Amino acid sequence: MLTCIIRYHIDPTKRAQFEEYSRNWGQAIPRCGADLIGYFAPHEGSSTLAYGIYNVASLAEYETYRLRLAADPLGRENYEFAQKEKFLLREDRTFLKLASAPRDPGTTT
C-alpha cells in the first residue's frame, strides 16, 4: 500500500475555490479507485498550504486510477475548474509507504 500526499500551495484569497475543488475530489477519487483519506484546507497557521491524501495499492494501480480519473466527467470538470480559477499555485506529489505499524501488545521491545 502506498499513500500519496499532495501538497498544494494555494492562493489564500481563493480558499473557497480550493474547498469546492476538494469536495469534488471527495466524490471522484473514490469512484475512480483510490482510497481517499481526505483533502485538508488551511485553518490556522499557514494560509497557503493545503493537502490531499489517499492510498493506492501500488504505482501500477495509481496509473490505472489516474486514467479512470482523467476519463471521469467530474474529474475532467475539476481539472478544468482549477485551470480556469487559478487557485493552485503549486502542487507536489509524494508517495510514501507505511514504515510503522501498531506494536503488538504482547511484545516487550
State residue 108's pLDDT score.
56
Q: How far apart are CA 24 and CA 62, in angstroms?
A: 19
3-class DSSP state of 95: strand
Q: Which helix (H) or strand (E) holds 75?
A: helix 73-85
Contact between residue 37 and residue 90 where contact means Cβ atoms under 8 Å apart: no
pTM: 0.87
pLDDT tens digits, residue range 90-107?
Answer: 999 999 999 987 766 666
pLDDT tens digits, residue range 30-79?
Answer: 999 999 999 999 999 899 999 999 999 999 999 999 999 999 999 999 99
State residue 102's pLDDT score.
74
pLDDT band at residue 16, thresholds of 50, 70 and 90?
very high
81 Cβ neighbours under 8 A, 6+ residues apart: 17, 20, 21, 24
Q: How far apart are CA 55 and CA 108, in angstroms?
A: 31
Does the pLDDT at position 109 exceed 80? Answer: no
Q: CA-based Rg of the chain, rounded to a whole angstrom?
A: 16
